[in-house]
Amino acid sequence: MGRIGVFVCHCGENIARSVDVKAVARSAAKLQGVAFTADYPFLCSAPGQRIIQEAIQTHRLDRVVVSACSPQLHGATFRRACAGAGVNPFQCEMANIREQCSWVHPRQGEVAPATPKACRLVASAVERARHGRPLQATRVAVTKRALVIGGGVAGVRAALDIANAGHEVTLVEREPSLGGNMARLSETFPSLDCSQCILTPLMVEASLHPRIELLTYSEVEDVRGFVGNFTARIRRKARFVDPARCTACDDCVTACPVSVPNSFDRGTSWRKAIYIPFPQAVPSTYTIDMGACLNSTFESPRGDRVGETQGEGVGRDYRILACERCRRACEPDAIDYDAADEIVERPVGAVVYATGYELPENTEAAEFGYGEDPDVVDGLEFERLLAATGPTAGKPRRPSDGKVPEHVVFIQCVGSRDPHRGVPYCSRVCCMYSAKQALLYRHKVPGSRVTVFYIDIRAAGKGYEEFIHRVMAEEHVLYVRGRVGRVARDHDKLRVFAVDSLSGERVIVDADMVVLAMAMSPAASSDAPGRFGELRVPVDAHGFAQEAHPKLRPAETLTAGIFPAGAAQSPKDIPDTVNQASAAAAKVLGMFSQAELEREPMTARVHEGRCVACFDCARVCPYQAVERQEHRDRQGRLTRITAAVNPAICEGCGACVAACRPGAMELAGSTDEQIFHQLTALAADPVAAPIPSRQDAVAEEGLTG
């Protein structure tokens, strides 16, 4: 059964404070198969790893159990140490006696209740190692091309980092232009840089980069495959304008008779049915909104298209094409009403998930009049009123009557930090962008007044606290700590009712406009169970991409080869967004630096003789790793069908093993035999007697196969 070495870590005082580590080592020395035990203050340190390696050589160990912290933290560290000494790295087991033992069972005076539990956890790990088999890592080829989903600052930064390192990138953005929400900003905090001055050069660089394939006005419909070998199915939506012919002369816009709310300006302005989202858009190409265009083509009940000529005289049930003014005005003849969506497929090795955020309406916002009173706006809408490229050319005006507001009230945490009427998390940037907007408004409207109602101020970032103090002291912005109860219209004023939580007094403020700092939520396109379900990206309770580990692997997901970036993972400011985008790019480049990828072998396997092809395993597999396998005789006749597991996709979750009624599924590294002996060790006194074998237990109970 092999020679096992058990090493118990003190972890400073993290373990030793609650666990008698020497008693654990003495207990482990009595276990069957254990040839050597030792304890050390910090096994993860270089001297600690040398102790393990020297013991392997001296005592001819072929299996190792490290009793320390979580294997997620240092499992790879100890595996490398074992491999360096000649032991199969997958025969290194860890007993978690810190998170699962010492931290949850503190010492009570001289009594250490965690020690017996630690002994059992070590005994269980010893049994797992004793009955384990040598495993070899799975190796898969890698396609050295990346897919970046989302063309905001996170997606553009990640695409440029990967492309500048020499690899091909497909950058997909669902809107007609790159830029995302950052393109909507007037200036950025705390330096008050022009957002377009920062972002536009990156957008242009990405559009001209020889290694970046830019697909704007496109959506990822499907991503199948596994790490290193994905296939992305992308829908390129019809613009109805040929970019190769369009000269952006603006004649079509002048001719278009249809005006609709401008989504880029968050509905604070109007645009034509044929449009460019904003002046610095990349690519600078027009798009026709067929949902608003008078030339939308409908089918009659007979199935024939109703057009301008055949529409005359048809029934009133049909809409008639009667415009085409933009096509007649287009001298380069760039407009094509018959253009259709195009489906393209791209093989990629890695995916960067940078779909951004949005500000959805919530119950609390409606209580403040948002959506009913035009002078109650959200942060992005007010940002557009402050922007030089916005609907009011940077001079803020009230949407209701166009007057310059003299008093603006900002309400913080609308829908944030409130699990009953919103979301429980903090959106991180609201305090800062409200302070920035207050400063910009004060500069643009001399003599104006600003009142900010807040719960508390969260300004965690370089220069952020100083910026808040500047707004308070130099710009004379009044900050009132307290919750706003309601906002009501009183003639041409908005009356804000609140309570000052510091003084306990009731506060009533008459304002010209109210700006709501609403919760940031993941963009609708990043709904992993929906639109991007094939990405198999785990999400948290709020729909943000779930990182593999919040501290050790914040730029990875549990699905190998898919990396989150920016606000798709959680609310972030611009510096943190760019940092994570570059981190995701670095992870991709780390993959692409290898000729082959090495995957852990703890994956499911099928005993074909037991498989009855019920495919319950396939139905429960969250990674779609179970495939149909056909068996044929020498004449090519189909003899039977079984399930098969693609080890490159399988993440070793074990769901298929639990679902398989015939017992045909087995998880390498967690076989039935290993689990049986682990449970037996947990139930027995590890010091009193050797752990019985499964055969002994079966015979004692009088059981048969």
Write out pLDDT tens, residues 239-293. Answer: 999 999 999 899 999 999 999 999 999 999 999 999 999 999 999 999 999 989 8
Question: In this predicted structure, what is the pLDDT of residue 624?
Answer: 83
Question: In this predicted structure, what is the pLDDT of residue 700?
Answer: 41
Structure tokens that stand for 435 in this block: 């302070």
Question: In this predicted structure, what is the pLDDT of residue 162?
Answer: 98
Q: How many CB atoms lie within 10 A of CB 388?
A: 12
Q: Going by DSSP bridges, is the β-strand pair 553-557/547-549 parallel, antiparallel, or unpaired?
A: antiparallel
Model pLDDT for residues 133-166, shown as the tens digit of each residue: 999 988 888 999 999 999 999 999 999 999 999 9
Model pLDDT for residues 599-654, shown as the tens digit of each residue: 889 999 999 999 999 999 999 998 888 999 999 988 889 999 999 998 888 889 99
Asked whether 678 and 127 are in contact (CB, 8 A), the reply is: yes
Residues sharing a CB contact under 8 Å with residue 251, sequence separation 6 or more, in sequence order: 329, 330, 331
Model pLDDT for residues 298-328, shown as the tens digit of each residue: 443 434 443 433 333 334 344 444 588 999 9
Average pLDDT over residues 381-406: 94
Residue 80 pLDDT exceeds 60: yes
pLDDT band at residue 598, thresholds of 50, 70 and 90?
Answer: confident
| CA 584 remoteness from chain centre | 11
Residues sharing a CB contact under 8 Å with residue 53, sequence separation 6 or more, in sequence order: 81, 82, 84, 85
User: What is the Cβ-side half-sphere exposure of residue 333, based on CA atoms within 13 angstroms?
Assistant: 0
Instruction: Identify the CA nearest to 66 among candidates 111, 128, 115, 137.
Output: 128
Write out the H or E segment, with its range, that includes residue 413: strand 407-414
Question: In this predicted structure, what is the pLDDT of residue 362?
Answer: 74
Asked whether 59 and 5 are in contact (CB, 8 A), the reply is: yes
Residues sharing a CB contact under 8 Å with residue 682, sequence separation 6 or more, in sequence order: 120, 121, 123, 124
Q: Going by DSSP bridges, is the β-strand pair 193-194/145-149 parallel, antiparallel, or unpaired?
A: unpaired
Residues sharing a CB contact under 8 Å with residue 134, sequence separation 6 or more, in sequence order: 88, 90, 91
Question: In this predicted structure, what is the pLDDT of residue 421?
Answer: 83
Residue 479 pLDDT exceeds 50: yes
Average pLDDT, the chain: 89
Model pLDDT for residues 358-367, shown as the tens digit of each residue: 998 777 788 8
Asked whether 650 and 606 are in contact (CB, 8 A), the reply is: no
Residue 106 pLDDT exceeds 90: no
Average pLDDT over residues 368-388: 95
Structure tokens that stand for 679 in this block: 């449970």
Asked whether 219 and 172 are in contact (CB, 8 A), the reply is: yes
Rounded to the nearest 5 percent, the helix, strand and coil shares of the chain are 30, 25, 45
Q: What is the DSSP string of 172-233?
A: E-SSSSS-GGGGG-SEETTTTEEHHHHHHHHHHHHHH-TTEEEE-SEEEEEEEEETTEEEEE
Residues in the chain: 705
pLDDT band at residue 687, thresholds of 50, 70 and 90?
Answer: low
Q: How many helices (H) and strands (E) does the chain have?
A: 17, 38
Residue-wise burial string across 86-104, b where 16 or more C-beta atoms lie within 10 A, e elsewhere: ebbbbbbbbbbbbebbbbe
CA distance 58 to 366: 72
Question: In this predicted structure, what is the pLDDT of residue 643?
Answer: 94
Question: In this predicted structure, what is the pLDDT of residue 534?
Answer: 57
Average pLDDT over residues 534-557: 85
Model pLDDT for residues 515-535, shown as the tens digit of each residue: 999 999 998 754 443 344 456
pTM, rounded to two decimals: 0.83
Provide the percentage of residues in the chain whose pLDDT is more than 70: 91
Question: In this predicted structure, what is the pLDDT of residue 125?
Answer: 96
Question: In this predicted structure, what is the pLDDT of residue 296?
Answer: 65
Asked whether 145 and 170 are in contact (CB, 8 A), the reply is: yes
CA distance 603 to 620: 15
Phi, psi dihedral angles at 680 (to 5 degrees): -60, -40
Residue 96: helix, strand or coil by DSSP? strand
Residue 354 pLDDT exceeds 60: yes
Asked whether 271 and 259 are in contact (CB, 8 A), the reply is: yes
C-alpha distances in angstroms, 121 versus 111, 117, 355?
Answer: 19, 6, 42
